[in-house]
Structures are given as C-alpha cells and as structure tokens.
Amino acid sequence: MISTIDELRARLAEVRAAAPGSRVALISTIGSLHDGHIDLVHRAREVADIVVVSVFVNPLRFASPADFAAYPRTPEDDARLLASLGVDVVFAPERDELLPDGSATTKVSAGDLGLRYEGRFRPFYFDGLLTVEAKLFHLVRPDVAVYGERDRQRVFLVRRMIRDLFFDVEVATVETVRGDDGLPVSTRVGMLEDRDLAAAALLPAALDAAAANADRGIDACIAAAQSTLMGEPRIRLEYLSVVDPVTFLPVDEGTSGPALALIAATVAGHRLIDNAEIYLG
C-alpha cells in the first residue's frame, strides 16, 4: 500500500509504461471496505485496464474530531481484500500527505447544492469530499472514476465539479448493493446492532412505498413513505425529498416523469442514507 505522493507518481508511471495506452480507473474510498466496494472494483475492471484505489479517512468529511476518530479503520483487511481483487495500485496516505495544512487547506466549494439534503445536516461534508477528490484526480489522472449510487448527491456533485473544473474524467456508477433486508451495504449499516437493523430496514421500505405511490403525485408519494416510518421510535428522520435527477432540485407538484427519492435518518446514532428512482405520474 503506497503512502506517499512520490511513491504514487512513481508507481503510476511504472504501470503506465508497462501498458501504453491503458485506461486508468480510480475508486476513492475512506476504507473499512465491504461488498459494495468489491462491485466497484469489478466495474472498474470493465471500463479500464489499470485500477487505482485510494484509502483515506478524510477528516474534512466529518463533523468533529470525535466522529473522525470513531470511524472504523481496517487497513490490514482492506489490503488483503484489494490484493485478492488484483487492484494495481493502492494509495493509502497519512493525513498530512494529502492535507499538509490540515483543515486550512484550499477547498473546492460544492456551492448552494452542497448545502441541501446531506449538506443541510453536514454543511462541511461535500466541500471536504470534493476537495480531496480534486486532489486525487490531479495526482492519479484517471480516465474514469467509479462510484456507487447509494450517495447520488455525491455522484451529481462530482460530475458537476468535473464539468466546471474541466477535468478530463468520465464517471461510471454501480447500482447500490443491498442485503436481504433491503438495506444498502455500508460501513454504518455494518455498525448497527441486530435489534436496530429491523428499524433501519424501514428506510428502503419507505422508498418502496414512495415508488408504489409515485403515480399519484409528489404529496401522495411522500405521505406513503412517511407513513411507513411512523411509530418506529428508533428512527429519527432527517430528510425525505423528491428531486429532479438532472438538476437535483426539488420537483414541483404536478411534475411527471423520472425522479429520485432521497432519504436520510439516524438509527441508534448512525446516519444512514438511501435513494430510489421513481416515476411520477
């Protein structure tokens, strides 16, 4: 696992020289890898010849030093998993390597949209995410970046950053990997105790209810989702929104066509997000 920028540049030069004209895919992670990341690597293999995975617990994405410190770190397990998948380059820098000035670093702004939905509850999150993503694009120079669709707002904002800052990078996505209970596979879901999983499973059930009632309009769609969650004290709903997938802005009543339902809630102190494509009638 490469830990310095100099090592990264040398390794990338080596693999590119060994396979001239090869396409490079980048998967950026904050570690604690799971089955969803395996699908990202498989997708990267489909769209590129060389796969680079970054493992960096980005402090700019966390609300407080305590949250940052509490995030699970499994570097040995991550290394074994990525080696078993045949990843070509693993970049796992220390904090000071990517953020030499700490939180005082020059930042990329996600703009007004970065303060909606997830950004309303974590106003620092997307600026921190895009800042490190831009650094990785600059260092790796990937042809394609691969993301999971569980965080659709992230994907939207990365695409917009690529457009606005003229990065020559394509975006490939992978459908959300779900367990038998419908929950997205994620590090935070994996931190839930068994007694909390049944409550958390109501979140994808609420999205299913929204989709089933989407032909009746936005109000009926949201009401059906909310009714699914009623009476479950373990869930603290943070937002439930229906947005235009092209602009990521809320849709108006009377809108018809494809839309995206977004949901976020806290269960047993863990923030969970999910989304579903719906069709408004």
Which residues carry out catalysis?
37
What is d(CA 215, CA 100) in angstroms, rounded to the nearest whole number?
51
End-to-end, the C-alpha distance of the chain in Å comes to 50
* Residue 277 main-chain phi, psi, to 5 deg: -80, 135
Going 17 to 139 to 6 to 92, the CA torsion angle's sign is negative
**Nearest Cα residue to 198 out of 138, 268, 139:** 268
What six digits make up the tokens of 17?
């020289």
Q: What is the DSSP string of 123-185?
A: TTHHHHHHHHHHHHHHHH--SEEEEETTSHHHHHHHHHHHHHTT---EEEEEPPPB-TTSPBP
